Amino acid sequence: MPDFYPVLYSFRRCPFAMRARLALAASGQVCKLREVVLGSKPAELLHASPKGTVPVLVLPQGAVLEQSLDIMLWALRRNDPQHWLPANAVDLEVALSLIAHCDGSFKQDLDRYKYPHRYALPDGLGHRALGAKFLGVLNQQLTETAYLHGARTGLADAAIAPFVRQFAHTDPLWFSDQRWPALQAWLAAFKHSESYQTVMGKYAAWTPGQPQQLFPPSLALSIK
């Protein structure tokens, strides 16, 4: 197998890894996929990135990208056939600011809503209410434009949708009862999209010496 493909350490359900896979697939960047079991991280992952979280992309020249947004931007700046990147610096700043809000306070509220016991909380309802404020902002944007970028899906949509999905899945009945029709439709469209189906395939955990799995699968089939 060609050694010029980068190596992607990933975990299927991790929203950070999901957004990285979305951008890699959209860019047509073939990778050697190594699915990780978070409770038993391979030594190769820890050697490449001692922080031990996913995603991690190891480039053929040896450079390591340890942040999901860096992986997205690296892939899309190499090739962006679906025009996910904003067309100008001002729009990119707006998108990155929205993503930063998602990755900052919203992610903190999501974690405490979904896993209150990890933070010694009796429940996650207070953080659900705080996270809902960000979801309301997204819903308002989506009443004005079809996607967070405008008329078509883009960087912000792919970066944020995996986290909204996780928030929604924590209590689906509660989420469906909220007055967020635009956000709910946007999330449903994301989960039914070809992009989502492509990146959510199931893979066995990687171990050294096993046959290597190429990602995305559609491109892998064309190479074999």
Average pLDDT value for residue range 134-139? 98
Mean pLDDT of 104-116: 98
pLDDT at position 2: 57
Six-digit token pair at 15? 């929203």
Q: DSSP string covering 6-50, please?
A: -EEEE-TT-HHHHHHHHHHHHHT--EEEEE--TTS--HHHHHH-T
pLDDT of 154 above 50: yes
Regarding whether 25 and 112 lie in a shared domain, the answer is no
Residues 208 and 122 in one domain: no
State pLDDT tens for residues 5-38: 999 999 999 999 999 999 999 999 999 999 999 8
With respect to residue 21, please indicate whether it lies within any of the assigned structural domains.
Answer: yes
Q: What is the mean pLDDT of residues 51-56?
A: 96
Strand-by-strand arrangement of the 64-65 sheet: 64-65, 56-58, 7-10, 31-35, 213-215
pTM of the entire predicted model: 0.95
The CATH code of the domain that includes 106 is 1.20.1050.10
Q: Is the pLDDT of residue 221 over 50?
A: no
C-alpha span between 20 and 74 (Å, rounded)? 10
Is residue 66 located within the same domain as residue 41? yes
User: Residue 74 pLDDT > 70, yes or no?
Assistant: yes
For the segment 170-220, what is each residue's pLDDT rounded down to a tens digit?
A: 999 999 999 999 999 999 999 999 999 999 999 999 999 989 999 998 754
* Residue 32 dihedral angles phi and psi, to the nearest 5°: -90, 110
111 within a domain of the structure (yes/no): yes
Under DSSP, the state recorded for 106 is I
Question: 136 and 169: one domain?
Answer: yes
What residue numbers bound the domain in which 42 lies? 7-82+199-223
CATH of the domain at 66: 3.40.30.10
Residue 2 domain flag: no
Domain count, the chain: 2
**Residue linked to tokens 């990285």:** 20
Q: Is residue 1 part of a domain?
A: no
Does 224 have pLDDT greater than 90? no
Task: Verify that 114 and 183 share a domain, yes or no.
Answer: yes
